[in-house]
Structure 1
Amino acid sequence: MTRATARHRRTASALMALALAGGMSAAALTSAAPAHADSWRDKEYWLAESGITKAWEVSKGAGVKVAVIDSGVDGTHPDLAGVLAGGADISGAGGANGQESIGAKPEHGTLVATMLAGRGHQPASATAKPSAGASAGPAAGSDAGPDGVVGVAPEAQILSVSTWLGSANPGGKSDQDQIPEAVRWAVDNGARVINISLGSTSPEWPQSWDAAFLYAEQKDVVIVAAAGNRVGGNVQVGAPATIPGVLTVAGLDRNGTASIDASSQGISIGVAAPAEDLIGGMPGGGYAEWAGTSGATPIVAGVAALIRSKWPEMSASQVINRIVSTAKDAGAPGKDPLYGFGVLNAEAALKADVPETKVNPLGSISDWIRVQRRGNLATTAPAATPAPSSAAPTLPEATVPVAEKPSQLDSAVPAAVVLGFGFLFVGIIAAAAFQLRAAMRSSPKEGADTPERPDRPGPGAADSVDSSHPS
């Protein structure tokens, strides 16, 4: 998929079975009761290896709201105490202000939220202490408690926007309806960063999504989305990570190279971050090991929150540019479909001297709409909500608006203009040649006894025409 591909030419049979893009399988999650730092916090290798602990010297995300569009976030988890700043249930299935875990993978949203903004917690027993080898005391999470998970932006706040994805929704809303509504709610409620750890197997998205993502772009909100996982069927990046302007995150294995299972590939990838051997909080207070670009995404979204906290007036385009321009190049030189611009370097993103830019290096949904939709933006009015029922997560292809075919007039006008100038130029040259020939016929030639033959051009006439004609 290219961002400028004429999407109406594709068959949308894979559209739009949205699924949560993390947790490579249910078996990949191994939960456990709350534990001390030496058994969980030390497993957060990405905090040091991705430069996050060094970035905390500059910012920890204070004052920034990050929306997590997911399966709901359990705000009672000990590592999320005081983190949630609000929420909403978009699914219609009764998600209790975004804090009830719902959908096919109800644990997913809590895993994401703890990795993004977890604050750890104090041990239940006053005598409980982390082991001498634990690395995650105050130095590894500022004021975070010594136990549990500390997120990339431990002073940021979370807005939980719950959606029902991956299975039939008892609330009746489809995937296609929930995503744009969730994005709009997040923007309207103060999110400066939106984390979307979900994806599809199709690079295309419904035209009805255009307005919501355009709205976020116009309101200067950073959107970070998961590239998807090959093990889950994403051999290429799927929507919404293909939408121009979205910061798409690919996955790395434990060695820092592109993950085979827990990543995907595509030209829309912006940056790569750890996606294997991850840990996060589970609903009910437990923890789990998991894998997938769903976990890589909050790492990058957390860095975006650190930047927006340090420079509140910085534009979304500049925030994204800071992240991708300071990434460590990997794979093929320059931007490539496995790593994007490179491997996340949080310290450089917060400390490097990065030239200002007004252009998002990952494109603009506004420009894309202008070119691909020909200004035919789908209505932003929400459709009437039917009575609660069991709705399949995938809608028939016929309900997906498609881009209009480019106008024949649009493509014909430039050609006509070029041809017009071409004919005019040739006409001028021909007229000049004719006048030259006439002048030469009317003037006597030195040493000539007979007039020039009318069917033969005068000396140099043909050369004059040929040398002046554009090649």
Structure 2
Amino acid sequence: MRRRLAAAVIVLAIVGLVGAAPAPTPTPASAADPVRAAQYWLDDYGIRDAWQTTRGEGTRIAVIDTGVARGPTELSGVVDGADFSGLGSPDGRTPVGAVDSAHGSLVASLAAGRGTGPDAGVIGVAPAAEVLSLSLAFGAATAAPFVDQVADAMRWAVDHGADVINLSFTTNTLDWPERWDDAFLYAFEHDVVVVVAAGNRGSGTARVGAPATIPGVLTVGGVDRSGAASVEASTQGITIGVSAPSEDLLGVSPDGQVVLWNGTSGAAPIVAGVAALVRAAHPDLDAANVINRIVKTAKPAPGAAADPLLYGAGLVDAAAAVRSPVAPVAQNPMGDLREWIRVFRRADAEPQPEPSIAPVEVPPLPAPEAATRTTSPLLPSEGTLLYGSLPLTVVTVAGILIALGVTAAARRIRSARAPRQPSRYI
């Protein structure tokens, strides 16, 4: 399976970057700053409303990507990090990759951007959450296998206190290497919410691919500004849990520029930020119930019969996820990776009991019968003489005598009836 993954194209779930963001018509809440006004998802998806309860204080989001840059004010929430590509700095703050080096910074700014002031600049969904920057390299730029980079980064994030892990990339293949089994199980067993981008048609992803197909992750599809499933900036599939905006998004590049971009690479950190809000508002909830709240409180997608393959449970609603009453669950609604491994990896069966080695009592066999003398079947025995030969002889002799008597009597009768002839002499 590792060969198959090596042959697959690792794709960042981003469609395009379009320079500095334009200034759309500002909303009343942020008329003073066009950048803040352009972040339509803050109001349309209940994020500003959720901030009345929490901004994500006390939570930690791990961004496993190309590294979150130093410098921009919006990215000042990074508290720790590490590099797994062999190309970046030890703290994970040096963006890596010839083409995609800005990707990690864009993702982090949507999840937990600090803005440039109370009502200015790019602000994330959970602006009070801490960020872990874990840098990876995509493609052949590094000698470290991508499979190992992801697995090692997942474990590092868990060991360094991540409450939420964001993965904004896809492999364009449904299955995943076995080493990821252990890495993702490690996160689930340590109560971490893992949020994954579904991928985009515009980047060549025809269907949802790993890691978005791994049971237990919260996979995020993308929608346009009207809430309809995005044609280019998303892909669809049965593993999608919820949907979030993936078009006309704003992010911060490593050099501090505000960039307009599209893709589920942006939809995923929006949902990762919502997960951080839920964890901050409900610190007693485990990861399964955090995901359950996000899924169960999602808004219906446009249309009376929205397709779950396009939207999952619907459009994420931050305010409802934070405040609505939701019944607790015992299992992750997005599936059980351990059970999947048991069924499809044919994991070792439960150990069988040791066979008993105690001696077994066997009852004695009955005594053998006395041997009889073997005789030839051609010689008469006592039985055949008594019941066969002797009666047969008697019957035969009697029959002969009767036959002889009858013959003699018949002759005498014929002789008595015949006329006598006179004698004639010569």
Task: Find out whether 1:70 has 2:59 as its counterpart.
Answer: no
Cα distance in 2, alignment partners of residues 226 and 271 from structure 1: 11
**Aligned residue for 1:211?**
182
**Aligned residue for 2:132?**
159
Cα distance in 2, alignment partners of residues 374 and 329 from structure 1: 38
**Aligned residue for 1:84?**
78
Residues 207 and 236, structure 2, Cα contact 8 Å, conserved in 1: yes
Deviations 1:104-142 (A, max 9, x none): 3000011011111111124xxxxxxxxxxxxxxxxxxxx
Please, which runs of 5 or more residues in structure 1 have no aligned partner? 1-7, 123-144, 377-405, 407-471
Deviations 1:340-387 (A, max 9, x none): 1111111111111100111111101111111111226xxxxxxxxxxx
**Aligned residue for 1:43?**
38
CA shift at 1:12, angstroms? 4.2
CA distance 1:41–1:310, change in 2 (3 Å): same
Matches within 5 A, 1:357-436: 357-375=329-347
Task: Find out whether 1:222 has 2:193 as its counterpart.
Answer: yes
Deviations 1:122-170 (A, max 9, x none): 4xxxxxxxxxxxxxxxxxxxxxx332111100100000000001x322x
CA distance 1:194–1:13, change in 2 (3 Å): closer
**Aligned residue for 1:120?**
115
**Aligned residue for 1:136?**
none
Picking from 3, 17, 23, the partner of 2:9 is 17
Cα distance in 2, alignment partners of residues 307 and 278 from structure 1: 22
Residues 114 and 123, structure 2, Cα contact 8 Å, conserved in 1: yes
**Aligned residue for 2:319?**
347
Picking from 232, 247, 257, the partner of 1:276 is 247
Task: Find out whether 1:147 has 2:100 as its counterpart.
Answer: no
Cα distance in 1, alignment partners of residues 132 and 200 from structure 2: 25
**Aligned residue for 1:197?**
168
**Aligned residue for 2:105?**
110
Residues 236 and 265, structure 1, Cα contact 8 Å, conserved in 2: yes
Letter in 1 for 2:167: I
CA distance 1:17–1:320, change in 2 (3 Å): same
**Aligned residue for 1:30?**
19
CA distance 1:367–1:335, change in 2 (3 Å): farther
Cα distance in 1, alignment partners of residues 321 and 5 from structure 2: 40
Deviations 1:207-258 (A, max 9, x none): 1110000111110100000000001111110110110000000000111100
Cα distance in 2, alignment partners of residues 75 and 314 from structure 1: 33
Matches within 5 A, 1:315-354: 315-330=286-301, 333=305, 336-354=308-326
**Aligned residue for 2:412?**
none
Secondary structure of residue in 1 paired with 2:309: coil
CA distance 1:332–1:242, change in 2 (3 Å): farther
Letter in 1 for 2:92: G
CA shift at 1:281, angstroms? 0.5
Residues 33 and 119, structure 2, Cα contact 8 Å, conserved in 1: no
Residues 87 and 98, structure 1, Cα contact 8 Å, conserved in 2: yes
Matches within 5 A, 1:178-197: 178-197=149-168
Secondary structure of residue in 1 paired with 2:79: strand
Cα distance in 2, alignment partners of residues 12 and 71 from structure 1: 23
Cα distance in 2, alignment partners of residues 211 and 90 from structure 1: 18
Could you say which structure has the greater relative contact order, defined with CA pairs below 8 angstroms and 6 or more residues apart? 1
Cα distance in 2, alignment partners of residues 32 and 49 from structure 1: 19
CA shift at 1:94, angstroms? 2.8
Secondary structure of residue in 1 paired with 2:122: strand
CA shift at 1:97, angstroms? 1.1
Deviations 1:22-63 (A, max 9, x none): 2x13xx331379xx9623111100000001111111111000
Secondary structure of residue in 2 paired with 1:100: coil
Letter in 2 for 1:218: E
- TM-score w.r.t. structure 2 length? 0.76
Cα distance in 1, alignment partners of residues 217 and 149 from structure 2: 18
Residues 229 and 264, structure 1, Cα contact 8 Å, conserved in 2: yes
**Aligned residue for 1:301?**
272
Secondary structure of residue in 1 paired with 2:194: strand
Letter in 1 for 2:83: D
Residues 15 and 202, structure 1, Cα contact 8 Å, conserved in 2: no
Picking from 213, 221, 240, the partner of 1:250 is 221
Secondary structure of residue in 2 paired with 1:178: helix
**Aligned residue for 1:95?**
89
Off by >4 Å, runs of 4+ in structure 1: 11-15, 331-335
Cα distance in 2, alignment partners of residues 57 and 365 from structure 1: 35
Cα distance in 1, alignment partners of residues 81 and 32 from structure 2: 29
CA distance 1:29–1:168, change in 2 (3 Å): farther
CA distance 1:299–1:311, change in 2 (3 Å): same
Letter in 1 for 2:317: N
Letter in 2 for 1:307: V
CA shift at 1:183, angstroms? 0.7
Please, which runs of 5 or more residues in structure 2 have no aligned partner? 23-30, 350-426
**Aligned residue for 2:363?**
none
CA distance 1:15–1:248, change in 2 (3 Å): farther
- Report the aligned-residue RMSD: 2.1
Cα distance in 2, alignment partners of residues 37 and 229 from structure 1: 34
Q: Could you tell which deviates more after superposition, 54-63 or 335-344?
A: 335-344
- TM-score w.r.t. structure 1 length? 0.69
